[in-house]
Structure 1
Amino acid sequence: LDQIILNLVSNARDAIEDNGRIDIKVSTGSSEDILEHNSIVKPNADKYCLLTVSDNGSGIDEEKLDKIFEPFFTTKSAGTGTGLGLATIYGIVKQNNGYIFCESKKGRGTTFYIYFPESDEKPSEKQLIGKETKPDEQVSSTDKKILLCEDDEGVRNVLSKMLGAAGFNIIEAADGEEGLRKFKENKDDIFCVVSDYVIPFKNGIELYEDITSMSPDMGFILVSGYSHDVDNIAELNENRNFSFLKKPLKPELLKRTIMDIAKHGND
């Protein structure tokens, strides 16, 4: 769900204007609702949980609606989208026996409807209050700083808020040169660097090499859409303090990877 919502909200953000609006809603649904979207499908349950994500942005051309879930198809301009986000969402929904539909009008906005079969099981009290963290999994993070290098302002803001909520102090940079400068200014306080591979002036690997030449044990998380973007990814992964995470980025996985680096740094 994290990945689905993050991708859909990111797309909606790109579509809206300055005074745009994004709505996320959860409600109940039924097999009849699904048939109203598509009378050909055969719903595998009677009751569903419905997640809707809508915006009042630019909308999608009608002739493109049938293709939006195809891998590598994108409505964004060249160089601004991989075309994998909606295909990934479609795969997640199908793996969980769900359905996803999209309605859009050019100039008026877009709504995604995602249906998941309602479970018959009642959640236990532990499930309702969330997963209990074991004492050895807890890491004191209030005094630790992360250097976050990401040229997409929207993505950078989302990640910064998420990591800030986890207790980390975030130093932001929009390109490789700014990232290196801020690292030099704060290197005694930074324990981990999170960087996209494709950033202006210095790519993620160049930034990694510059930083580890000064601080060989610095934790570094490289993020990219494709592992084959990085020529020596296998060699880099042999470094205990280096991690490679693939886009679309799962927020919980990023947080867990950072916590592991913090834990190793305290060993």
Structure 2
Amino acid sequence: MQPDGQEGALLNALLSTAADAIIVSDSDGIIQRANEAACHLFQYSTEEMLGQSVNILMPQALADLHDGFMQQYAETGEKRVLGIGRDVEGQRKDKSVFPLHLLLGETNAGDQHMFVAILRDLTHNHATQNALARSQRLDAIGQMTGGIAHDFNNLLTVVIGNLELMEMRGVTSGQLSLIRDALDSAELGADLTARLMVFARKSNLRPVEVDLKDVCEKTLSILRRALGSTYTIRTDFAADISKVMIDPVQLQSALMNLTLNARDAMGPTGELLISIANITIDDTYMAQETDITPGDYVRLFVSDNGAGMSIEAQRRAFEPFFTTKSESGGTGLGLAMVYGFVRQSGGHITLYSELDLGTSFGLYFPAISGTQGKAGGSGREHTEDTVPPGKGQTVLVVEDNPKVRKLSVQRIRDLGFKTAEASSGDEAYQMLRDGLHADVVFSDLVMPGSLNGYDLAAKATADFPHLKVLLTSGYASDVVTGKMSRGQDHDILHKPYRQWDLATRLQALLTDGSGV
């Protein structure tokens, strides 16, 4: 039955402007009306839908259930579906199945009993939910990993420190060999925790304003030689690219990880594409990673034509120690490190892959406009073999872990300093207020009580201007330290550290007149 006149015009206007799909069917399930949104959703024309059974819009299993529901309603009047919103599956003209939310109502139009279905596509919602679940899972793993790595850093600080103390006190050549082997192994452990910290987004980044094209071109000049002539590397760099604020060393490491993974996936030959372009994030991308902040980004794509990844492999790709290359010695930390670096840099990463077709990683970094100051640096290198000694100055060691505190005191004493110790920032501050004279406060960053390392540094230097402060932490975290610092800019000695690093940091504080 087709309404006419003013009523029909109003109905037509409502149907044509509705964002959701609306389908009107009779008591036999034959489609009488369908709006433009419904035709677009199911990929039929209006002519193709009218006069057909609503069953053409459902998978066969659901269509069978639908017929049973309608027959039961006709016989008993029991409303199993009517007036109750529910999630179902729809089927397009091309037989593809997708998730829907269905709300079904009924009415009488003259002498005909009619049903009105309002349908909303849930594909985007499901993608968002899956992305959120993936992001939450990785965040939870990252928090756990960061905590474990922090604890291992404390343990390694004790191990490395004691080994160095033994080495400095004179040992036989046989003992020295054993000590150095142990130190090498401890350093490997420190390297492992450092890589875990990258995944946990607690690494010590040194971001500077860079052009991604310049960094990628330098890295690719190395990779082309490493990959060999059987692999083709193509580049597609847009002419005008915004700059980004990232750590170029970590970007090089990330690009190498992705490229070498692609080589393994491609086999003996293959083609790799590296592309860079400015891009604006909108709702289309929000479905891929729900916590992406809309705005301007620079996107680095690394794509290969290799074997691709299974759904399970894609789901777990960024988890630490997950690897599909266990037989060839893969550690499962490469992609985890890439993920952590990108996220800690304020960016986002996407993964697209199909079996036998290849894989593409998208790295999105926030674009910056204008000129911005550089932060960080390239890192300090040294070749000195001797440890600079102290001259009897007093260092107040503030550390809540008893073993680490004991070792720190011993290390500092062996450097020629006097020491005092406290188990918290509150205790250390009170000791200073009570008259303890100290030249340097050497404090852990994260401690129990009301004063963390930054708070202690602020209060102590305000009350005792002569005092110098050196902070240390197993959390090499820009995020954590940024939240704690309240605008302060203190240098941090990251655990585990070598005796030489501790000595030179202390000497730098005592000779340059700086308190930070």
Q: TM-score range by the shorter chain?
A: 0.3 to 0.5
**Greater Rg, structure 1 or structure 2?**
2
- TM-score with structure 2 length normalisation? 0.26
**Structure with the higher helix share, 1 or 2:** 2
Structure having greater relative contact order (Cα 8 Å, sep ≥ 6): 1
